């Protein structure tokens, strides 16, 4: 690849702040693939000298891209371009399947697997009487050894025989299909909120970082609910894609 000094131009007569000029052009290089995931950048002092910018200006530009999830900083490693974010089509697939399809090496840490009575929203989504037992599972999903999503799922008790070993090695939907359960459709709501301290710690996000929220009820044969999920995704690493058609 050509040196950055040939690819990024700073216009000092422009009203656009210098840090934003640099950050915007560097972002385009990352998103176009000109700077590949994992590429290492020079330190801020060297970059500032090369482009004739002050160190605070260069620091602001780099922090802007770190906050957007395009760069990562690690002591002893330096500043690198992060792996491309996961772009997920709005289809009835599991995150595990999507990561496998994109060669992102999914890995799962099972945080808990237990029987709990259904209350409130969970009971309503699964069409169960309040107090009826459900299987609750909480998992932390990784992509390329980087935490990506915090998953909480509820299933009617007795629907499928699940073990922590199976959940660590396979996606939930694959396990349900293996048990003979058809997944026909789903109702899903996507939103966003700030991470709690515990969520930020698990997902390696900054305190109060933005998370995408997904609430999904999966229906099987006859419209019977078979799974209700509440998932949290790192907004800096994950996005949904959809195709819209005119009426």
Domain shared by 146 and 25, yes or no: no
Together in a domain, 170 and 109: yes
| Structural domains counted in the chain | 2
What CATH number has the domain bearing residue 10? Answer: 1.10.10.10
One pLDDT digit (tens) per residue for the chain, 247 residues: 568 888 999 999 999 899 999 999 998 888 787 888 888 899 999 999 999 999 999 999 998 888 777 888 877 778 888 866 555 555 667 788 778 877 788 999 999 999 999 999 999 999 999 999 999 999 999 988 889 999 999 999 999 999 999 999 999 999 999 999 999 998 989 999 999 999 999 999 888 888 999 999 999 988 899 999 999 999 877 777 666 667 6
Given 50, 81, 112, which residue is the final one in a domain?
Answer: 81
Spatial CB neighbours of 32, under 8 Å, sequence gap ≥ 6: none
The answer to whether the beta carbons of residues 52 and 6 sit under 8 Å apart is no
Task: Looking at the structure, tell me whether residues 25 and 145 fall in a common domain.
Answer: no
Domain span at 16: 4-81
Answer yes or no: is 247 within a domain.
no
| 161 and 63 share one domain | no
Residue at token pair 């697939």: 93
- Domain membership of residue 183 (yes or no) is yes
What CATH number does residue 184 fall under? 3.40.1410.10
Model pTM?
0.65
Residue 222, exposed/middle/buried by CB under 10 A (0-12, 13-18, 19+)? Answer: exposed
Do both 45 and 109 map to the same domain?
A: no
Tens-digit pLDDT profile for residues 147-175: 999 999 999 999 999 999 999 999 999 99
């Amino acid at each position: 690849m050509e040196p950055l000094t040939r690819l990024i131009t700073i216009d000092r007569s422009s009203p656009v702040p210098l840090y934003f000029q640099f950050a915007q052009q560097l972002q385009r290089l990352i998103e176009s693939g000109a700077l590949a995931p994992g590429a290492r950048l020079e330190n801020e002092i060297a970059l500032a000298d090369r482009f004739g910018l002050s160190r605070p200006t260069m620091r602001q530009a780099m922090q802007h891209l770190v906050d957007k999830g395009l760069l990562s900083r690690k002591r002893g490693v330096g500043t690198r371009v992060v792996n491309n974010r996961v772009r997920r089509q709005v289809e009835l697939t599991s995150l595990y399947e999507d990561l496998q399809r994109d060669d992102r090496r999914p890995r799962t840490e099972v945080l808990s697997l237990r029987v709990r009575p259904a209350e409130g929203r969970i009971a309503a989504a699964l069409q169960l009487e309040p107090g009826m037992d459900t299987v609750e599972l909480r998992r932390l999903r990784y992509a390329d050894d980087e935490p990506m999503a915090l998953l909480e799922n509820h299933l009617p008790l007795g629907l499928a025989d699940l073990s922590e070993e199976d959940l660590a090695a396979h996606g939930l939907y694959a396990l349900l299909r293996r048990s003979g359960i058809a997944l026909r459709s789903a109702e899903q709501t996507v939103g966003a909120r700030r991470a709690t301290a515990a969520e930020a710690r698990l997902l390696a996000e900054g305190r109060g970082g933005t998370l995408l929220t997904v609430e999904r009820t999966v229906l099987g044969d006859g419209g019977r609910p078979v799974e209700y999920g509440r998932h949290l995704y790192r907004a800096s690493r994950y996005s949904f894609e959809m195709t819209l058609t005119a009426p």
